[in-house]
């Protein structure tokens, strides 16, 4: 299946390497508003066409456009690709606002096209094994989850980090999709949230690259705490922070019969550990599946398209996560319970179906389509 990338920034190299190595996908073009940057990426990875977005969207052999632009541009680029007759898979979040995300999915539905959305890390071996362990009853009935991701933010290493602190960014919208998508894969849809949020600094400083030393404004909360209720019953207590000198990654699921230590949801591997009730030593659980990296969602979407089946890293999942993040922001601002399914956040995204685990033995290195 022919694939083109729009956006040749920091994350594009991971997609170019992965999609270029899968037998079911062929990268036919890469675009960027900075055409020279697109041309450099094309030379490095052997992509035949490079140019501006219009050039790539006009390629007739391209069936899926991978949208790697900044969050504020996600909806605009996705809509342009859909109007060019292409299926779209985009980086997270689906859009900068729930309303914009709903419009993207409505456009796709009207045209009979599919939308996919990162993260696809939940398709990796670590989180797939965690989902299987929970569904197999290894912790009994799920009761709650505790998750935390904390750091001082990406400006120390990213050469152009201002967009992380604009609408559609911050730790909730940047890192939150990994944790929330994993929680939805484990527990199903979110019923509602309460939350608090604050901003540690009103300005940040670029720490590396040609813009090092430049100051830029912080326009979004940088420390968010949320209590999340799921339709199926469990609760999650989650913290997302760019204000912590103590770097933390935590994801634990507690059940009636034990606790599961889940791998970092921003990765594709393990380890996965189980602590049964009444025991003091964690057990390592087997981790089965693929660790092929970013692009798995595009591959799984391509195979689903050819087979006429639903894909897992879907636009409806991305929209539900986006609505949940929007509900967290609104809950923090109003100091009241908010639901992602409230009328203000419910639009043309369709009904969310919790994604089924991948079949054991699902292999991205083997061509399955014939």
What is the percent of the chain with per-residue pLDDT over 90, rounded to a whole number? 94
Q: With a cut of 70, say whether residue 149 has pLDDT above it.
A: yes
Quote the pLDDT of residue 271.
98
Q: What is the pLDDT of residues 46-101, one digit of tens each?
A: 999 999 999 999 999 999 999 999 999 999 999 999 999 999 999 999 999 999 99
Kindly state the helix (H) or strand (E) to which residue 246 belongs, with its residue range.
none
**What's the Cα-to-Cα distance from 103 to each of 48, 286, 347, rounded to whole Å?**
32, 41, 8
| Nearest in space to 185 (alpha carbons), one of 236, 220, 150, 223 | 236
pLDDT bracket for residue 353 (50, 70, 90): confident
**pLDDT classification of 166: cutoffs 50, 70, 90:** very high
**For every residue of 298-367, which 3-state class applies, written as one string?**
HHHHHHHHHHCCCCCCEHHHHHHHHHHHHHHHHHHHHCCCECCCCHHHCCCCCCCCCCCCCCCCCCCCCC
pLDDT score for 38: 98
Is the pLDDT at 369 greater than 70? The verdict is no
87 sits in the region (left: phi over 0; alpha: psi -120 to 50; else beta) called: beta
The residue extents of the domains of the chain are: 122-285
Residue 115 has pLDDT above 50, yes or no: yes
Neighbours of 307 (CB within 10 A): 11
Tell me the angle at which helices 176-187 and 315-334 cross, rounded to the nearest 10 degrees: 110
Strands annotated E in the chain: 2-6, 26-31, 49-51, 62-67, 87-90, 115-117, 142-150, 190-198, 203-205, 215-217, 223-230, 235-241, 248-255, 258-261, 272-276, 283-285
Tell me the average pLDDT across 16-32: 96
Q: What is the pLDDT of residues 253-282, one digit of tens each?
A: 999 999 999 999 999 999 999 999 999 999
Q: Would you state the pLDDT for residue 362?
A: 93
pLDDT tens by residue, 197-225: 999 999 999 999 999 999 999 999 999 99
Cβ burial of 309 (10 Å; 0-12, 13-18, 19+) is exposed
pTM of the model: 0.95
The answer, yes or no, to whether residue 347 has pLDDT greater than 60, is no
Given CATH 3.40.50.10070, say whether it is the number of domain 122-285: no
Q: How far apart are CA 111 and CA 87, in angstroms?
A: 10
Across residues 142-157, what is the average pLDDT?
Answer: 97
């Amino acid at each position: 299946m022919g694939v083109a990338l729009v956006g040749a920034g920091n994350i594009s190299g991971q997609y170019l390497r992965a999609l270029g190595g899968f037998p079911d996908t062929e990268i036919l073009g890469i675009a960027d508003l900075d055409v020279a940057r697109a041309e450099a990426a094309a030379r490095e990875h052997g992509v035949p066409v490079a140019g501006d977005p219009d050039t790539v969207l006009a390629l007739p052999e391209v069936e899926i456009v991978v949208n790697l632009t900044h969050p504020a541009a996600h909806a605009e680029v996705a809509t342009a690709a859909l109007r060019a007759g292409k299926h779209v898979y985009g980086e997270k979040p689906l859009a900068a606002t729930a309303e914009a995300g709903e419009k993207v999915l409505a456009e796709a539905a009207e045209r009979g096209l599919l939308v996919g959305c990162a993260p696809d890390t939940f398709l990796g071996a670590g989180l797939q094994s965690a989902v299987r362990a929970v569904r197999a009853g290894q912790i009994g009935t799920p009761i709650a989850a505790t998750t935390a991701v904390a750091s001082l933010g990406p400006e120390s290493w990213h050469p152009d980090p201002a967009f992380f602190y604009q609408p559609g960014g911050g730790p909730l919208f940047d890192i939150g999709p990994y944790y929330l998508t994993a929680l939805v894969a484990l527990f199903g849809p979110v019923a509602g949230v309460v939350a608090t949020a604050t901003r540690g600094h009103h300005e940040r400083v670029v720490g590396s690259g040609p813009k090092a030393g430049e100051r830029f404004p912080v326009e979004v909360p940088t420390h968010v705490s949320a209590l999340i209720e799921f339709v199926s019953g469990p609760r999650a207590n989650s913290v997302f922070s760019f204000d912590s000198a103590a770097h933390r990654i935590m994801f634990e699921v507690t059940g009636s019969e034990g606790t599961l230590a889940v791998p970092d949801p921003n990765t594709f591997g393990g380890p996965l550990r189980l602590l049964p009730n009444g025991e003091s030593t964690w057990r390592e659980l087997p981790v089965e599946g693929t660790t092929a990296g970013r692009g798995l969602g595009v591959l799984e979407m391509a195979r689903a398209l050819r087979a006429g089946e639903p894909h897992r890293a879907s636009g409806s999942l991305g929209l539900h996560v986006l609505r949940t993040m929007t509900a967290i922001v609104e809950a923090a601002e109003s100091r009241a319970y908010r639901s992602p399914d409230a009328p203000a956040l419910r639009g043309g995204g369709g009904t969310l179906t919790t994604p089924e685990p991948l079949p054991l033995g699902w292999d991205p290195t083997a061509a399955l389509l014939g």
